[in-house]
């Protein structure tokens, strides 16, 4: 196994320090496509202790570029006395399959000793949940008090509620939806084209090269970041100001460059493609008689958090869940100038809703 140049991928690889990651082998996983993904490993982190009944657990589902270290991407949410209180709960966050921070994904080694690259199979949201189910059984969790997540994580929480209600006390989706929209797919398709058009992409088999499709992924991230924030924030914060350096860039360009560079240090272009395509395929109504039929079957409490300025997952998408599952859904709206990223920034508001949700679960139990 040759070493991979950091200019190729920001993925966590086998020769890297595992940090606080724990690893669990869940064996072979049969995907929705019928293809079998062999020898699947899930990287995860956990906080607190699982009780003897195995039912004091909380499942945190990360977003597209998140990972298992919740405190790394969602500060002030997990720990003693925090919304996900590790004194009371066993809090666990697995890195999704297809990810690049320790779980089996395109940058992982396939059984032949080479990195999966272009050979990595197409995934769906339901495939991710199937892997999380196998993981859940192996770590001894009998029931989650709450399955919670933003964006991609909210999609997975909805699938948990539909397919495995006996394992879930309640779910909380944040800035998410029951189905991917044309607008979301359109914006995502441009991002994927940027990556695939990078001359260093090599059809996804770039791990042996000296340089990977970092520039293409950087362009994708810049596009995505604009959908995560708001027009008003960009104008008030940057306007037409120049950065004031030798590049002659506008300040907003420098800001977007910074986010692209940050992502390159911890993410992989193939994972960006794999997870984005899975999000594009998201439709809880697929093979279930449509969205309305699927949502009407949910029998666990659904707490939906909507961000009033979210232009990637606009409030109408959370309102749809409320309208189609009215008896089970509680809709909470957060006011924020930060758009979709409000779930990361408005931690006090989000945290209070999480606390209230868990308190209701304790009362119902």
The model's pLDDT over 312-341, given as tens digits with 9 standing for 90+, comes to 999 999 999 999 999 999 999 999 999 999
Q: Which one of the listed residues 108, 147, 151, 349 is annotated catalytic? A: 151
Numbered ranges of CATH 1.10.1740.110 in the chain? 184-278
User: What per-residue confidence (pLDDT) applies to 303?
Assistant: 97
User: What per-residue confidence (pLDDT) applies to 363?
Assistant: 73
Number of Cβ within a 10 Å radius of residue 17: 6
Q: Which one of the listed residues 62, 225, 303, 340 is annotated catalytic? A: 340
Q: Which two tokens stand for residue 192?
A: 């994927």
Rounded Cα distance between 250 and 247, Å, is: 9
The model's pLDDT over 201-257, given as tens digits with 9 standing for 90+, comes to 999 999 999 999 999 999 999 999 999 999 999 999 999 999 999 899 999 999 999
Buried b (16+ CB within 10 A) or exposed e, 168-195: bbbbbbbbbbbbbbeebeebbeebbebb
Q: Is the pLDDT of residue 365 over 80?
A: no
Summarize the annotated binding site for substrate as residue ranges.
221, 341
User: What per-residue confidence (pLDDT) applies to 362?
Assistant: 75
pTM, to two decimals: 0.97
Q: Which one of the listed residues 107, 310, 332, 349 is annotated catalytic? A: 310
User: What per-residue confidence (pLDDT) applies to 22?
Assistant: 98
User: What per-residue confidence (pLDDT) applies to 194?
Assistant: 98
* 178 phi, psi to nearest 5 deg: -85, -15
Q: Coil, strand, or helix at residue 187?
A: helix
User: What per-residue confidence (pLDDT) applies to 3?
Assistant: 78
Q: Coil, strand, or helix at residue 91?
A: strand
Q: Is the pLDDT of residue 1 over 60?
A: no
How many residues are recorded in the chain?
Answer: 365
User: What per-residue confidence (pLDDT) applies to 129?
Assistant: 98
39 as an active site residue: the answer is: no
184-278: CATH architecture: Orthogonal Bundle (1.10)
Numbered ranges of CATH 3.40.50.1820 in the chain? 22-181+284-364
User: What per-residue confidence (pLDDT) applies to 2?
Assistant: 58
The model's pLDDT over 16-50, given as tens digits with 9 standing for 90+, comes to 999 999 999 999 999 999 999 999 999 999 999 99
User: What per-residue confidence (pLDDT) applies to 92?
Assistant: 98
The model's pLDDT over 163-199, given as tens digits with 9 standing for 90+, comes to 999 999 999 999 999 999 999 999 999 999 999 999 9
The model's pLDDT over 55-100, given as tens digits with 9 standing for 90+, comes to 999 999 999 999 999 999 999 999 999 999 999 999 999 999 999 9
Q: How would you classify the pairing of strands 22-30 and 84-85?
A: unpaired
User: What per-residue confidence (pLDDT) applies to 5?
Assistant: 87
How would residue 136 be classed by pLDDT, with cut points 50, 70 and 90? very high
Q: Is the pLDDT of residue 259 over 80?
A: yes
Q: What is the mean pLDDT of residues 115-124?
A: 98
CATH code for the part of the protein at 22-181+284-364: 3.40.50.1820
């Amino acid at each position: 196994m040759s070493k991979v140049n950091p200019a190729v991928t920001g993925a966590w690889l086998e020769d890297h320090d595992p940090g606080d990651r724990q690893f669990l082998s869940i064996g072979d996983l049969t995907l929705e496509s019928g293809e079998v993904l062999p020898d699947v490993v899930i990287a995860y982190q956990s906080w607190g202790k699982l009780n003897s009944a195995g039912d004091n657990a909380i499942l945190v589902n990360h977003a597209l570029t998140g990972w298992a270290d919740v405190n790394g991407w969602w500060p002030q949410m997990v720990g003693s006395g925090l919304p996900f209180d590790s004194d009371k709960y066993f809090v666990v966050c697995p890195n999704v399959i297809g990810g690049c921070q320790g779980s089996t994904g395109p940058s992982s080694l396939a059984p032949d000793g080479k990195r999966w690259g272009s050979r990595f199979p197409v995934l769906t949201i339901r495939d991710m949940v199937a892997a999380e189910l196998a993981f859940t059984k192996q770590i001894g969790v009998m029931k989650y008090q709450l399955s919670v997540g933003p964006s991609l994580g909210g999609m997975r929480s909805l699938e948990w509620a539909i397919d495995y209600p006996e394992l879930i006390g309640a779910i909380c989706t944040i800035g998410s939806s029951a189905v991917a929209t044309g607008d979301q797919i359109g914006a995502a398709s441009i991002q994927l084209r940027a990556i695939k058009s990078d001359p260093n992409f090599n059809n996804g088999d770039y791990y042996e090269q000296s340089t990977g499709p970092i520039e293409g992924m950087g362009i994708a991230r810049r596009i995505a970041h604009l959908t995560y924030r708001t027009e008003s924030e960009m104008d008030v914060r940057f306007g037409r100001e120049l950065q004031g350096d030798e590049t002659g860039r506008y300040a907003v360009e420098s800001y977007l460059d910074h986010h692209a560079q940050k992502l390159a240090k911890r993410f992989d272009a193939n994972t960006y493609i794999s997870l984005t395509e899975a999000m594009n395929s998201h439709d809880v109504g697929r093979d279930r008689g449509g969205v309305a039929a699927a949502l009407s079957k949910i029998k666990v409490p659904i707490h939906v958090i909507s961000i009033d300025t979210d232009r990637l997952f606009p409030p109408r998408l959370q309102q749809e869940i409320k309208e189609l599952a009215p008896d089970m859904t509680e809709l909470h709206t957060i006011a924020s100038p930060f758009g979709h990223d409000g779930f990361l920034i408005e931690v006090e508001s989000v945290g209070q809703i999480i606390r209230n949700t868990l308190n209701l679960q304790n009362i119902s139990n």
